[in-house]
Amino acid sequence: MINIDKELCTSCGLCAKICETRDIAMTDEGPAPLGKDCSECGHCVAICPASAVELVGYDSREVLPFSPDRFHIDPDILQNFMKFRRSTRRFLQRKPEQDKIEAVLEAGRYSPTACNDQLLRYVVVEKDLPALRNLLWEGAAAYAQRAKDNYLLGRYHEFMESHGQIDTLLYGCTHLIFIMAPNENDACIASSRMELMANALGLGALYLGYCKLAVEASPALRKYLEETPESRTQVVLALGYPDVTWHRTVPRKPLQVQWK
């Protein structure tokens, strides 16, 4: 729902023009919210030059005025940053600070979602990780047996025979983040931004595809995560401080693109 401060509003009409759902009408007295189809995207808040628009039910203190020195990123630096990030499979036992984990979650919170539904939910596991690791391996084994995934079964037997010393599922991470959503697209977009934020904070991150499959194969895990049809595990991220130092980027296969 939109609220427009009449004293601040200059009737420029930008909010009405930017509204994709046409939920703001221009009248003789200025823009008027209709309150019928607002998706709460916030475009009207962001475009208003007079700071006259607010979304009811949201914290206006989070709204930041644009400043080039705070919001612009050099594209070459951004490109190089994305080239340099690596998937981490060796973690230190040093636990990341709480504010860093929260910053990673904030990156997910500000990711775009379909129709601005904002239906993402996060489960962060730290203190329960030792017990949950066993459940995840059991779920992974159940999936592997059903799918005849002998590679994963071999990794499971290696984990069991080493009494948990060889863990090629979680790789010694200190935190797991389960990204819950009704569909995979929103969670994938959020996880990509979260993984980049983790790297910006000096953390290592790893997408755990087998952990998602383990959850799907395990009623116990789905109960632990309090899954519902509208809130299912879509992406699992491992986090922690990396126990490795990278010295350069790596090559990629040539770009495959068609210009038409």
Domain with residue 24: its CATH number is 3.30.70.20
Same domain, 159 and 58: no
Which pLDDT score, from 0 to 100, does residue 217 have?
98
**Could you tell me if 92 and 185 lie in one domain?**
yes
Convert the pLDDT of each residue in 190-215 to its tens digit: 999 999 999 999 999 999 999 999 99
CATH number at residue 157: 3.40.109.10
DSSP calls for 37-61 = S-----HHHHH-TT--EEETTS-GG
> Of 207, 195, 216, which Cα lies nearest the Cα of 136?
216
Residue 94 C-beta-side C-alpha neighbours within 13 Å: 9
Q: Is the dihedral of CA 120, 196, 18, 64 positive or negative?
A: positive
Same domain, 15 and 89: no
pLDDT of residue 124: 98
Q: What is the pLDDT of residue 1?
A: 86
Q: What pLDDT score was predicted for residue 207?
A: 98
Whether 255 maps to a domain, the answer reads: no
Determine the Cα–Cα distance for residues 236 and 169; give it in Å rounded to an integer: 11
Q: Are residues 132 and 229 in the same domain?
A: yes
- Is 236 part of a structural domain of the chain? yes
Are 89 and 9 members of one domain? Answer: no
> Does residue 102 share a domain with residue 38?
no
pLDDT (tens digit per residue) in 122-146:
999 999 999 999 999 999 999 999 9
Contact 129, 163 (CB under 8 A): no
Residues of the domain holding 97: 75-240
Look at the chain and report how many structural domains it folds into.
2
Coil, helix or strand for 226? coil
Residue 159 lies in a domain: yes
162 plus 217 within the same structural domain:
yes
Q: What is the largest CA-CA distance in the chain?
A: 77
- Within-domain flag for 206: yes
Residue ranges of the chain whose pLDDT lies below 50: none
pTM of the predicted protein model: 0.94
- Domain membership flag for residue 248: no
Pairing relationship of beta strands 232-240 and 204-207 according to DSSP bridges: antiparallel
